[in-house]
A and B are shown apart, each in its own frame.
Chain A
Amino acid sequence: MQNQHQSPSAVLTPEAIAARVAPQDSPARATDDVARYALGLGDDALVLAQRLGSWIAAAPELEEDVALGNIALDTLGHARGLLTYAGSAWDQTEDDLAYFRDEADFRCRQIFERPNGDFACTIARQLVVSAYFTVLYRRLADSADPTLAAIAAKAVKEVEYHLDHATLWTVRLALGTEESRRRMIAGLEAIWPFVDELFAADPAADAVPAAAVAPAGLREPFDALLLPVLDQAELPVPGIAAVRGGGRLGVHSEALGPLLAEMQVLARRHPGAVW
Chain B
Amino acid sequence: MTEEPRRETWPLWEVFVRSARGLSHVHAGSLHAPDAELAVRNARDLYTRRSEGVSIWVVPAAAITASDPDAKDAWFESPRGKDFRHATYYTASQAVPHL
Asked whether A63 and B51 contact (CB < 8 A) given A1-B19, A168-B38, A168-B41, the answer is: no
CB neighbors of B among A106-129 (8 A): none
* B33 partner residues in chain A, CB cutoff 8 A: 63
15 extra interface residue pairs, beta carbon distance < 8 Å, beyond A3-B51, A63-B45, A66-B45: A4-B50, A4-B51, A4-B52, A5-B51, A63-B31, A63-B32, A63-B42, A64-B42, A66-B42, A164-B41, A168-B37, A168-B38, A168-B41, A172-B34, A172-B38
Residue positions of A touching B, CB distance < 8 A: 1-6, 61-64, 66-67, 70, 164-165, 168, 172
B61 contacts chain A at the CB level, 8 A cutoff: no
Closest 7 CB pairs of A and B: A63-B42, A3-B20, A67-B45, A4-B51, A70-B45, A66-B45, A63-B31
Count residues of B near A (Cβ-Cβ below 8 Å).
Answer: 20
Q: When chains A and B are docked, how far (Å) is the Cα of A67 from the Cα of B10?
A: 15
B residues contacting A by CB (< 8 A) are 9-10, 19-20, 31-35, 37-38, 41-42, 45-46, 49-52, 54
In the complex, number of A-B residue pairs with CB atoms less than 8 Å apart? 41
Q: In the assembled complex, how far is the CB of residue A72 from the closest CB belonging to chain B, in whole angstroms?
A: 12
Q: Which of A6, A66, A164, A172 contacts B46 (CB 8 A)?
A: A66
CA distance A62 to B51 in the complex (A): 21
Bound CA–CA A3/B19 (angstroms) = 8
CB-CB under 8 A from A70, the residues of chain B are 45, 49
Q: List 8 A-B contacts (CB under 8 A).
A: A3-B19, A5-B50, A5-B51, A6-B51, A63-B10, A63-B45, A66-B42, A164-B41
Tell me, in angstroms, the Cα distance from A207 to B37 when the chains sit together. Answer: 44
CB contacts (< 8 Å) of B52 on chain A: these are 1, 4
The residues of A that contact B37 with a CB separation of less than 8 Å are 168
Nearest-neighbour CB distance to chain B for A180, whole angstroms, equals: 11
- Report the minimal beta-carbon distance from B64 to chain A, rounded to whole angstroms: 19
> How far is A3 from B20 in the complex, measured between Cα atoms in Å?
7
Cα-based distance from A4 to B38 in the complex (angstroms): 25
Q: B51: which A residues are within 8 A, CB to CB? A: 3-6
- Which residues from chain B contact A4 at a C-beta distance below 8 Å? 50-52
Q: How far is the CB of A136 from chain B (nearest CB, A)?
A: 23
Taking CB atoms, residues of chain A closer than 8 Å to B9 are 61
Q: Could you tell me if A67 and B42 are in contact, using CB atoms closer than 8 angstroms?
A: yes
Q: Which chain A residue shows the least CB distance to B44?
A: A161
Please name the residue on chain B nearest to A4 by beta carbon.
Answer: B51
